Amino acid sequence: MTDGPAPGLTTAAAQWNGVERLFSRPGEPSRCWCRFFALTGPEYSALGPAARKAQLKERFDGGSPAPGVLAFVDGQPAGWCAVEPRTCYPRVLRSRMLRQAEEPGPPDSETASPDAAGGVWSVTCFVVAARHRRSGVAAALLRAAVEHARLNGADVVEGYPVDREQRPKAGPADLYHGTLNLFLRAGFTVVSSAVPGRAVVRLSLTGPKGA
């Protein structure tokens, strides 16, 4: 996913003006405004881009932690990663992929639901400007997302990446979840691969892994 870190690369909790500048460029982000997972299917279909944009902006106006992190190259927004409590994402909660990952297992099994142990935050979406792909931006965003979740009380960070070994033809439009290798390099563990080409991965922020 990366060829090396981009010079001048920094990350921070997102602010609305930076997100708006990044998403206003031509492409799918200017239509979705990162609302796909935050709405049910009918809700998403009922809203146009302007309404989706307004909904995302509300997440910055409500006094809650920022709903994601931004990467900057030489001070200009180069990428975004959405990360919030999993309860903020109804489409994730209803997904077949998550239901299969949450099937009951032994009490100490990593495949068991972590909800009883504390807050689960989900990494749902990456946006990287075309000119900054394959330059370490996605990896930096994931590290920043994990730290943002940790600072705001998460016990577990979860992701839903694409396994490129099973989906070698996946292009940028399919990879907004991130790739499995990206998450594995960041220390995440696969807890389910029941859906072909997709995985549920988790990183514990408590105990030895989170120390």
Name all domains of the chain by residue range, CATH numbers in brackets: 9-210 (3.40.630.30)
Helix (H, G, I), strand (E, B) or coil at 102: coil
Q: Do residues 25 and 76 lie in contact, with contact meaning Cβ atoms separated by under 8 Å?
A: no
Q: What burial class does residue 182 get, using C-beta atoms within 10 Å of its C-beta: 0-12 exposed, 13-18 middle, 19+ buried?
A: buried
pLDDT value for 118: 44
Q: Report d(CA 156, CA 211) in Å as an integer.
A: 13
Q: Report d(CA 128, CA 81) in Å as an integer.
A: 9
Contacts of 51 (CB under 8 A, 6+ apart): none
What are the mean pLDDT values of the chain's consecutive 10-residue runs (211 residues total)?
64 96 91 94 95 95 90 93 95 82 52 57 94 88 97 96 84 84 96 88 77 38
Query: What is the phi/psi pair of residue 64, to 5°?
Result: -85, 170
pLDDT value for 32: 95
pLDDT value for 103: 60
Tokens for 197? 């080409």
Tokens for 183? 């998450």
Instruction: Give the containing element (helix H, strand E) for 124.
Output: strand 120-128
Could you tell me which residues are beta bridge partners of residue 10?
72
187 torsion bin: left (phi>0), alpha (psi -120 to 50), beta (else): left
- Global pTM? 0.86
